[in-house]
Amino acid sequence: MPCGLIERRVEDGVVDRHGRHRAASIPGSFGALPCLKPAFPRLRDGAYLLYPLAWPRDGCRTYGLESARARSAGKGPIGEPELFAALDKTCSPEGVQAVRRLYDWVKPHGGDFAWGLGIAYPSTNAWFTVEGQWVCTWSLYARSTTLTWDVDFEYLLNKGVSTDRMAAFAATLRTIPGVDARLAGLEQAGYKRRPSLSIDGIVAKSGAVEIIERALVGLVGLEA
């Protein structure tokens, strides 16, 4: 997405010149949406600042339907402590351990995170460079119902990742018990899907994390 300038009101968050929030008008198909990095000094409270539009890196925020629901239950900056505190409340110990392994795998392998704003239901997206594109690859949602690890095929598709690479990614994930049913119809839908995998029901099972890591190695292109 090309860079542009938008207006931000200090006490209200991201708004346009008419006071409307801009984030809600950005199509959700972009996945983890652009974050804001300051270009000009902060003015007094209530003054408008100009910020450049850029893709998220280094702890930026995410937007979209799930984030909107989460923010309605309490808005504020979150990060690793809030995410794992929420997981500890609702996940099995095995589920928390599985998520911790996947989380800790990201940055040592060239990835980074974009965070949601929901305090009650924290979320994060893992971004990697895939075929030269910085793209959201998987997401984690501490929802009020089932906690899930989501595979973001739709975002890979939107960034032009090749069908062969996505097909290989899906094929490896399908070797995890229970995943084949969750990926049913993926190819027929042209990869325009973001299937959710239950953390306790699938991701925490024996051998699942190792297979996910192997699938990510192939996707990101880290093969020796």
For residues 127-156, give the mean pLDDT.
Answer: 93
pLDDT of residue 146: 78
Of all residues in the chain, what percent carry a pLDDT higher than 70? 65
Tokens encoding 180: 């084949």
Q: Which of 26-30, 116-120, 202-206 is the most confident on average?
A: 202-206
Residue pLDDT, tens place only, 61-90: 444 554 455 445 455 678 999 999 999 988
pLDDT confidence band for 55 (50 / 70 / 90): very low
pLDDT of residue 143: 74
Q: Does position 46 have pLDDT exceeding 70, yes or no?
A: no
Closest CA to 32 of 131, 125, 153: 125
Order the strands of the 133-141 sheet from edge to edge. Answer: 112-115, 123-130, 133-141, 148-151, 196-198
- Quote the CA–CA distance of 126 and 79 in Å, as a whole number: 13
Residue pLDDT, tens place only, 179-210: 999 999 999 999 999 999 999 999 999 999 99
Of 113 and 47, which is predicted with more confidence?
113
Contact of 163 with 192, CB cutoff 8 Å? no
Residues 6+ apart with CB under 8 A from 134: 55, 57, 127, 128
Beta bridge partners of 138: 126, 151
